[in-house]
Structure 1
Amino acid sequence: MPTIRFRSDVSSDSFWTRISGQRWSKHHYFVFVHTFMSYAMLHATRKTLSTVKPSLIETWTSNTTNPIFPTQQAAAEFLGVLDTGFLIAYAIGLYICGILGDNYNPRRLLAFGMMASSIVVLCFGYLTETFHVYSPMIYSFLWILNGFIQSVGWPVEVSIMGNWFGHNARGAVMGAWSSCASVGNIIGTLIASYTLFMGYQYAFLIACSLLFIYSFLVFFQLPSAPWEVNSEMVQEQVNEENLDDDELAERPPPIGFFRAWLLPGVIAYSLAYACLKLVNYGFFFWLPFYLHAGLHWPESYADSLSTWYDVGGIVAAVLAGAFSDHMRSRTPVVFIMLLMATVSLYVYAHSPASYNWNAFLLLVAGFFIGGPANMISSSITADLGKCEQLRGNAEALSTVTGIIDGTGSVGAALGQWFIPSVQHWFGWKAVFYGFIIMTLCTALCLTPVLWKEHKDRRIHRSDEVDALLQSDSDENPSDENVQEVRRRPTNSNV
């Protein structure tokens, strides 16, 4: 296991300074809060569809004069098609928006995406029900378009966070920040659970209204990088990152899309995230429906219970991120959590129909699944996009984020296509067994990275021993002293 490295050079200016090891100005707080809440609002509008699926199925099959689907199974399969279409468009958009985020102003791109998404969600969920426009073609077009538009959010926001927070802060800060998706899921779920008695369309109305309003705050108050503020802030980051003055004086040039794929660890983590995001988004899209249709609990009851999965992901993102800051690599933390995730999934597949047991087991499953997912998509991605090979000479954060999250969305899209059919033919336990297999595949994809890091540590320790032997032999070349040096314990962090 990697050696834990505790830092003793942290000042006591503030709570976040002590946690992250980096000084926070008012601009750091603005960036953290606005990026956190903006993506939470994006995810809340996305989560609304999964929370109102039973109401939509009821409306499409029995509450209209001309039902658009003959059976509830057909309606559920169409919802699976919507989720798949959303994720395919989302994946394609991530590759494109990742490049745009490194070439254009991230703040403007983000604000535009939030405004456009709020309008599309309003049309999809509120206007279609208000004017009784029930058309599979319209639903498909609007939700797929929403997937493409929302893809601007994650790569741009990770890029902004990576610009403001240094490597030593990324695990703790990015871990806490990456819980924005889970917080957004909780917000969307609570909005739906408290408005369903009025009609499912009001859940969409409230969620997209909040998103639209917050887009103005992002546009007018969010600084995308230190070089947009003043030279003093740039100098602070130069001092903390040990960079040259001219590396942060202006925005570095963007890296090419294909060159970004060749950065160390990008391909391995992209494939791993494709497997893991399938599992994470399987819970995201289908957990409320499973609790309602599989365990026969009321829809609002199932929505509230499903939030425990997101709570587990939030706790894991903060704790695992902070712990990984004190290690040479974050990969072992992710790998161990993935192995524990397979156990938690197996136990949950056989859980009793008890609220307390489900809440606890969802908390555990969210911890070991949502935690690694949040780490890969935030702090690990930021590390890869700011690796030593670039050293401030090129900007790759947004592009690398788009590659990893885009590849993950491809895997998630395939999963949403198969989940309804697997559930229909083999039952819900088969779905969870499939999740276990995909989690193991995630760990398998990270095995080469883990092995390479292990070899690098051995080479590093060997070089330290050789340097120590050479230094001691220069001072006293006697064989007796050389043998004594060979018996000395070594520390990989010397």
Structure 2
Amino acid sequence: MWTMLDCWKCFSSHSALNLQSRMQLKHHQACIFALTWTAYAGTYLLRKPLAVVKTDLSNELSMTRTDLGWLDTAMLFPYAAVQIVFGSSADKYGARRTLAVCLMTSAMSMASFGLWHSFYIYAVLLFINGAAQSQAWPSCVKGLGAWYTTQHRNAIFGIWGTCTFAGGVLGTALAVHLQTRYGWRDTFFIPSFILGGIGLMVLMFLHSPSDLQVVIPGKDLESAVSEKLDPATPSFVSLWKLPMLKEVAISVFCIKIVRYCMFMWLPMYLHQQLHYGKAGSGMLPTSFEIGGVLGSASLGYLIQRFLRGQMLLGSGLAILASTLSLVCFLLTASWGAVPNFTLMLIAGAFNCGVDPILSGSVPSELGELDGRKIQASVSGFVNGFGSLGTVLQGPIVGAITEYYGWSGMLYLIITLSLLGCLASLKGYLIGTGLRLNGTTQKLQMGV
């Protein structure tokens, strides 16, 4: 017979084992969070230098604004198209291998960028860079989402989404530093070296729960295995038919155009129209991304706290607030650095803050409807479709500013921001209707 002491020893041993397992799980989750955060933030080290050196390309190589717009397109078109068509790569081959190849290919393509003098060579290198980076977002969503339950995903993706905007700030700061100290041709090699190193770390350490035989509370091991590889590739049509996906994708399409106009053209606008110096025009636009960090970290919590988790309603209201901030920026552009910085900070907080919701947690949940595990496919579709807007912004903004001046660009992004707001609110109404009709089980983001 067992004594009370034997029972206590057994209970203590079991409790210690459970505590050890929980601590081990938290350690793995923290490592995967940090690694995927660093990996996606690192992609901006090779996206942001182009915006910083546009004035140099214009002055030294006599490129027009339309030429510079086409360079944007050379990078952003493959980013969008490859992500839509091959967004399921992480579902097929695993997030670790897909992301590692993506980062190292991106690094190799841009290492020699500053050595050339040809518009066409620049376009080819940017094309390879964009195609390689297209797999970064769906791979990170797949790799990170495997370690968390749906209950925790919104909060986790909100905090993790700061990588997009923190990476933009770091990428801009590094590019400005290299440009001002060494010249624009030396702004690409060091970022390429850093990103290649991050790719090697991903290859060595980005493991899924099934790789480590770790069971996530709320997920069984079979579910974890199915999240690693899913040979069934959904078609474009089947993805488009998912409830609310069209509205989410259109909303992301609009806000990405606005965001990339800020990323790719605001430095030049500040330098030429508002007469900022090179350093000031390069660094002040980071206020948009600093706002993005703040908004991304807090918006998901605020929506959960005050709107009971109604993600699409909260996203629509946030995009509306961003639109109003852009209107105020248009009206007060000549008032100086403090109003410019403040309004860009506010606009960035609301525009960028919805990105991890609309491109991360919402697609991740949609990808699990009906027991399917196609998170990478759905998130790749939404982010890729949204990135089509970034493809169009280059030549469109270049042409608009050539013929109508910089105010034409500001009117354009205000209009598109408003359309993104309306698309998100329409998705909210569709989700509400599905819930009332009893045809959906887990679409909390639309209620």
Task: Judge same fold: TM > 0.5, yes or no.
Answer: yes
State the aligned residue count: 410
Offset of 1:383 from its aligned partner? 2.0
> Given the alignment, which residue of 424, 427, 447 partners 1:449?
427
> Equivalent residue for 2:313?
332
**Residue 340 (structure 2) aligns with:** 358
Does the 8 Å contact 1:94/1:405 carry over to 2?
yes
Aligned residues of 1:280 and 1:373 also touching (Cα < 8 A): no
Letter in 2 for 1:363: L
2:206 maps to which residue? 222
- 1:61-100 paired onto structure 2 within 5 Å: 61=62, 69=63, 74=64, 76-100=65-89
Asked if residue 25 in structure 1 is aligned to residue 4 in structure 2, the reply is no
Q: Percent identity?
A: 27
What CA distance in whole angstroms lies between the structure 2 residues aligned with 1:99 and 1:347? Answer: 41
Aligned in 2, Cα 1:409/1:357: closer, same or farther, shift over 3 Å? same
Stretch deviating more after TM superposition (36-45 or 322-331): 322-331
Provide the rounded CA distance (Å) in 1 between the counterparts of 2:108 and 2:224.
37
Aligned counterparts of 1:161 and 1:246: Cα–Cα separation in 2: 17
1:186 Cα offset (Å): 0.8
How much does 1:412 deviate? 1.9
1:398 corresponds to which of 346, 367, 376: 376
| Distance (whole Å) between structure 1 residues aligned to residue 377 and residue 244 of structure 2 | 14
- CA-CA distance at 1:405 after TM superposition: 1.0
Which sections of structure 2, spanning at least 5 residues, go unmatched?
Answer: 1-22, 439-447
Residue 196 of structure 2 corresponds to: 212
Contact 1:344–1:365, Cα closer than 8 Å, also in 2:
yes
What is the aligned partner in structure 2 of residue 202 from structure 1?
186
Task: Give distance in 2, aligned partners of 1:217 and 1:106.
Answer: 13
Partner of 2:143: 160
Deviation at 1:24, TM superposition (A): 5.2
Are 1:370 and 2:352 matched, yes or no?
A: yes
SS for the counterpart of 1:226 is: coil
Residue 412 of structure 1, aligned match among 376, 390, 396? 390
Indicate yes or no: 2:224 matched with 1:248.
yes
Q: What is the CA-CA distance between 1:254 and the residue it aligns to?
A: 4.2
Deviations 1:33-59 (A, max 9, x none): 111111111112111111111122222
What is the CA–CA distance in structure 1 between the aligned matches of 2:240 and 2:90, rounded to whole Å? 16
Q: RMSD of aligned C-alpha atoms?
A: 2.1
Offset of residue 316 of structure 1: 0.8
Partner of 1:470: none
Is the CA contact 2:312–2:425 (under 8 Å) kept in the aligned structure 1? no
Q: Taking structure 1 as reference, are residues 399 and 249 closer, same or farther at Cα in structure 2, changes over 3 Å only? A: closer
CA contact (8 A) 1:171 1:323 kept: no
Q: For residue 464 of structure 1, what is the aligned residue in structure 2?
A: none
Offset of residue 111 of structure 1: 1.0
Select which of 322, 345, 353 maps to 2:326: 345
Counterpart of 2:273? 294
AA aligned opposite 1:86: M
> Structure 1 stretches of 5 or more lacking a match?
1-21, 62-68, 129-133, 461-494
| Residues 175-230 of structure 1, C-alpha deviations (whole Å, 9 max, x = no match) | 1111111111111111122222311122212211111111111111111x211111
Q: Which amino acid aligns with 2:430?
A: K
| Corresponding residue number in structure 1 for 2:404 | 426
- The 2-side partners of 1:41 and 1:297 are apart by 28
For residue 459 of structure 1, report the CA deviation from its aligned partner: 5.7
Query: Partner of 1:43 in structure 2?
Result: 44
Say which structure is richer in helix. 2
